[in-house]
């Protein structure tokens, strides 16, 4: 047992406590170069989130100096150095506001404002983010207290992901989506607090000397405040984690249902949409060719119980008409309409071609019966096409000094009908001056 405890002893390889504290204090301040490095890292991380590149995001976290004031706050709480705590929190606030400002400006100016998966991943924190932050913080503070520090800090920065939540919060501000902003800021706060808590616990475990000695009651009060803050942040994330767990279970059940009832039966799914809510989940699908009757759809809905999906609304999107038959009918109707139009056009063309009248011959013949005529002409006027009979009504215009009386006009009309073999004509008079 002693060998095991000796094997796990954290005090082995521990650096001088005063040296460790000096290193922690030196990395807290955000002035000059640190501020410029932070701003550049924020821009790089924002670009990575904007183009959905994990490699670029990791690169930004490798150069981020954000860990300093968070570790400093944890050490300050562990040794009751309230001046150090005040300085750490002040610099953390400065770094946070600078990061938010830079990321907001970037996303506001960026022409690409689509919400990528890397951005969405930072808007719904859960219990797993707390575990990552806490154990990442443990790695960070243990590494800082070693003589041979190695290079674990970049790995901690990657694991706890301090920069992407800040950039996502800036993205939320830039596009006016305050739900994104709130979720990302909550994730960032979780990371900060639980890295700080992990640091506090390690400092206590390694028994770093206290700067100020308090009475037991005062120490309990400080511990109570830290515990309360931890629980306040822990409870929502536990709820989000439970919701995530239930959503994953629901998706697995839906995938099993779709696989067994459709895919394995040879049906091709061209659309699938799943919505998970604790009280009203729904699944919608559309198939390539298979069509279900209402009875078949009802049977499929009944089988949801087998997959523990009772209460889930399931809908198969399908056209209520026979698309293939509709297309064939439409083609047939279009062909019939075209044939009918062609027949009408051919009839009208024939009518026009057959009604080319010799007005000169007609005038000579008409003057035998009506000597007062000086001119006569017949034409087929477009607006005289009968829509019902699809026939052309000839228009007769005669010229004379004096208009024919009613009886002579009727005689002229009857003669023209017989002469041009038409049942209907319209006769008009045009005056001729002496």
pLDDT digits (tens, 9 = 90+) for 384-405: 444 444 456 778 888 888 888 8
In 212-329, DSSP assigns E strands to 269-275, 282-287, 313-317
Please check whether residue 36 lies inside any domain of the structure: yes
Q: Is the pLDDT of residue 88 over 70?
A: yes
Please check whether residue 337 lies inside any domain of the structure: yes
Longest distance between any two alpha carbons in the chain, whole Å: 146
Q: Which two tokens stand for residue 198?
A: 């992990």
Contact yes or no for 91/71 (Cβ under 8 A): no
Each residue's pLDDT tens digit, 131-165: 888 888 888 888 888 776 655 555 555 545 678 88
In the listed set 182, 213, 244, which residue is the last one of a domain according to the structure?
A: 213
**175-200 mean pLDDT:** 87
User: Is the same domain home to 89 and 176?
Assistant: yes
Roughly what angle, to the nearest 10 degrees, separates helices 163-175 and 54-62? Answer: 120
Please check whether residue 272 lies inside any domain of the structure: no
How many folded domains does the chain comprise?
3
User: Is the same domain home to 207 and 337?
Assistant: no
Name the β-bridge partners of 380.
Answer: 394
User: Is the same domain home to 343 and 377?
Assistant: no
Q: CA 73 from chain center: how many Å? A: 40
- Backbone angle region of 426, left / alpha / beta, with phi > 0 → left and psi within -120 to 50 → alpha: beta
User: Is the same domain home to 408 and 345?
Assistant: no
Using a 10 angstrom Cβ sphere, with 0-12 exposed, 13-18 middle and 19 or more buried, the burial of residue 333 is: exposed
Please check whether residue 251 lies inside any domain of the structure: no
User: Is the same domain home to 360 and 335?
Assistant: no
Contact yes or no for 163/92 (Cβ under 8 A): no
Name the β-bridge partners of 400.
Answer: 373, 431
User: Is the same domain home to 407 and 330?
Assistant: no
Q: How confident is the model at residue 346 (pLDDT cuts 50, 70, 90)?
A: low
Please check whether residue 227 lies inside any domain of the structure: no
**Could you tell me the CATH number of the domain that includes residue 401?**
3.30.300
User: Is the same domain home to 332 and 366?
Assistant: no
Half-sphere exposure of 221 (CA within 13 A, CB side): 6
Provide the pLDDT for residue 28: 86
Q: Is the pLDDT of residue 82 over 90?
A: no
Range scoring the smallest mean pLDDT among 73-77, 92-96, 180-184, 369-373: 369-373
- Give the structural domain span for 326: 322-353
**Could you tell me the CATH number of the domain that includes residue 112?**
1.20.1080
User: Is the same domain home to 408 and 371?
Assistant: yes
Distances (CA, A) of 305 to 280, 286, 294, 300: 15, 21, 18, 10
Provide the pLDDT for residue 383: 44
Q: Which two tokens stand for residue 14?
A: 């521990």
Each residue's pLDDT tens digit, 211-263: 766 667 777 777 788 788 778 877 777 777 777 788 888 888 888 988 888 88
Sign for the CA dihedral angle at 370, 374, 380, 385 comes to negative
Sign for the CA dihedral angle at 232, 238, 241, 247 comes to negative
Contact yes or no for 377/358 (Cβ under 8 A): no
d(CA 272, CA 269): 7
User: Is the same domain home to 55 and 82?
Assistant: yes
Provide the pLDDT for residue 388: 46
In the listed set 353, 374, 398, which residue is the last one of a domain according to the structure?
A: 353
User: Is the same domain home to 329 and 184?
Assistant: no
User: Is the same domain home to 204 and 332?
Assistant: no
Q: How confident is the model at residue 308 (pLDDT cuts 50, 70, 90)?
A: confident
Please check whether residue 76 lies inside any domain of the structure: yes
In the listed set 213, 235, 254, which residue is the last one of a domain according to the structure?
A: 213
Please check whether residue 161 lies inside any domain of the structure: yes
Contact yes or no for 140/199 (Cβ under 8 A): yes
User: Is the same domain home to 73 and 105?
Assistant: yes
Please check whether residue 269 lies inside any domain of the structure: no
Q: Which two tokens stand for residue 20?
A: 């460790």
Each residue's pLDDT tens digit, 11-60: 777 778 888 888 888 888 878 888 888 889 889 988 988 888 888 877 77
């Amino acid at each position: 047992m002693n060998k095991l405890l000796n094997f796990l002893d954290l005090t082995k390889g521990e650096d001088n406590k005063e040296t460790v504290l000096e290193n922690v204090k030196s990395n807290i301040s955000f002035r000059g170069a640190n501020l410029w490095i932070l701003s550049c890292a924020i821009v790089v991380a924002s670009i990575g989130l904007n183009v959905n590149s994990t490699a670029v995001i990791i690169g930004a976290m490798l150069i981020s100096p954000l860990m300093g004031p968070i570790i400093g706050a944890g050490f300050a709480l562990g040794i009751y150095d309230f001046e150090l705590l005040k300085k750490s929190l002040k610099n953390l606030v400065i770094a946070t506001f600078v990061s938010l400002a830079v990321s907001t400006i970037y996303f506001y100016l960026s022409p690409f404002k689509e919400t990528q998966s890397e951005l969405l991943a930072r808007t719904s924190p859960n219990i797993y983010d707390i575990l990552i932050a806490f154990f990442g913080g443990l790695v960070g503070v243990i590494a800082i207290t070693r003589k041979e520090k190695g290079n674990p800090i970049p790995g901690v920065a990657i694991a706890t992901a301090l920069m992407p939540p800040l950039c996502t919060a800036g993205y939320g501000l830039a596009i006016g989506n305050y739900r994104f902003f709130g979720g990302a800021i909550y994730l960032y706060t979780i990371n900060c607090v639980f890295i700080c808590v992990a640091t506090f616990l390690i400092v206590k475990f390694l028994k770093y000397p206290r700067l100020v000695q308090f009475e037991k009651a005062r120490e309990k009060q400080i511990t109570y405040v830290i515990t309360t803050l931890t629980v306040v942040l822990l409870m929502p994330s536990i709820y989000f984690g439970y919701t995530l767990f239930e959503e994953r279970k629901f998706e697995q059940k839906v995938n099993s249902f779709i696989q067994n009832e459709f895919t394995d039966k040879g049906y091709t799914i061209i659309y699938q949409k799943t919505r998970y809510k604790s009280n009203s989940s729904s699944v919608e699908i559309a198939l390539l060719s298979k069509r279900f009757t209402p009875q078949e759809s009802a049977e499929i809905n009944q089988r949801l119980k087998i997959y523990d999906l009772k209460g889930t609304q399931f809908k198969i999107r399908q056209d209520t008409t026979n698309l293939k038959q509709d297309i064939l009918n439409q083609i047939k109707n279009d062909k019939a309409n075209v044939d009918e139009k062609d027949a009408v056009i051919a009839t009208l063309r024939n009518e026009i071609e057959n009604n080319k009248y010799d007005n000169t011959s007609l005038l000579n013949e008409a003057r035998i019966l009506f000597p007062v005529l000086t001119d006569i002409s017949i034409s087929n006027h477009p607006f005289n096409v009968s829509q019902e009979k699809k026939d052309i009504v000839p228009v007769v215009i005669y010229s004379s000094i004096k208009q024919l009386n009613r009886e002579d006009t009727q005689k002229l009309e009857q003669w023209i009908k017989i002469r041009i073999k038409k049942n209907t004509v319209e006769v008009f008079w045009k005056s001729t001056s002496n």
